Amino acid sequence: MKVFDMDESHAQDYFCCLEEWSVDMQESGDRKSSWYAHMKEKGLRVKLAEDEDGRVCGMIHYAPIENTYVRGENLFFIYCIWVHGHKEGRGNLQGRGAGRALLFAAEDDARASGARGIAAWGLALPFWMKASWFKRHGYKKADRDGIAALMWKPFTDNARPPEWMKMRKKPGLVPGKVAVTAFVNGWCPAQNAAYERAKRASREFGDRVVFREYDTLDRSVLEEWGLVDAIFIDGKNIGSGPPPSYERIKKKIERRVKRLGG
């Protein structure tokens, strides 16, 4: 298994999370590339894994925690680690040690950079980015928000555990309208796709729907709201996890519009 720093020849693999075949990725727009251009100036690092057949099979990206949506000091934060696991496209390339190799490479890089530790988010449920997987590799829980655990591995005795950034406020209502409010950061194409779907669905209802968007790559916006990626319809978060489909978002907006008598 070969792990290497991403160069521009592999940028498109990275921007679509190795899923060039995915309709979801095709709907996500170009926000991730814009996010990357901004964040690489803030210390973002991207590594890719290549299997014995020369296929890029996995990726990891991480940055100094001070420049992410997690609170911490002198740590690196892993946005995500992903090894292609679908039958489509490149095929299921998991279970061959690529994830472990990527994680260890990022840890070695963080240590060499003088970081006091490294953090990552993990899910309590047995899906992608499992907290239990990080635990098996020496990480421990620092904080929790619902099913999302903030895991970390200190390198030094004076390392301090990271904390989740908490939501500070929710978007308000708009009298006589349905308010769709989208918070988008750009780092995750799946969340970018949800944003694009919400924006497109809102247009279906003309002036009965007000679409508001907040770019949380802007640090002041992130700090003001304490939200990274989220979609609210009349002040209610429509949920996290896998990005909602266009049809689901449209139906939720439609139900609210009907309550207006539209």
- Which CATH architecture describes the domain 2-164? 3-Layer(aba) Sandwich (3.40)
Type of residue found at 135: K
List every span in the chain annotated with CATH 3.40.630.30. Answer: 2-164
Neighbours of 251 (CB within 10 A): 12
Higher pLDDT, 1 or 195: 195
The stretch 18-43 carries a mean pLDDT of 94
Q: What percent of the chain has pLDDT over 90?
A: 91
HSE of 113, CA atoms in CB hemisphere, 13 A: 20
Helices 246-259 and 189-203, packing angle to 10 deg: 40
Reduced to 3 states, what is the DSSP secondary structure of residue 142?
A: strand
Q: Round to whole Å and give the CA distance between 165 and 187.
A: 16
pLDDT given at position 100: 97
The stretch 201-228 carries a mean pLDDT of 97
pLDDT given at position 70: 97
CATH fold of 178-259, please?
A: Glutaredoxin (3.40.30)
pLDDT given at position 241: 67
Mean pLDDT for all residues in the chain: 95
On the question of pLDDT at 262 being above 70, the answer is no
List every span in the chain annotated with CATH 3.40.30.10. Answer: 178-259
HSE of 87, CA atoms in CB hemisphere, 13 A: 0
For the four alpha carbons of 106, 109, 110 and 111, in that order, the dihedral sign comes to positive
Residue 256, sorted as left (phi over 0), alpha (psi -120 to 50) or beta, turns out to be alpha
pLDDT given at position 239: 75
Q: How far out from the chain centre does Cα 208 lie?
A: 31
146-159 tens-digit pLDDT: 899 999 999 999 99
The stretch 202-206 carries a mean pLDDT of 97
For the four alpha carbons of 188, 194, 199 and 200, in that order, the dihedral sign comes to positive
Neighbours of 129 (CB within 10 A): 18
Q: How confident is the model at residue 203 (pLDDT cuts 50, 70, 90)?
A: very high
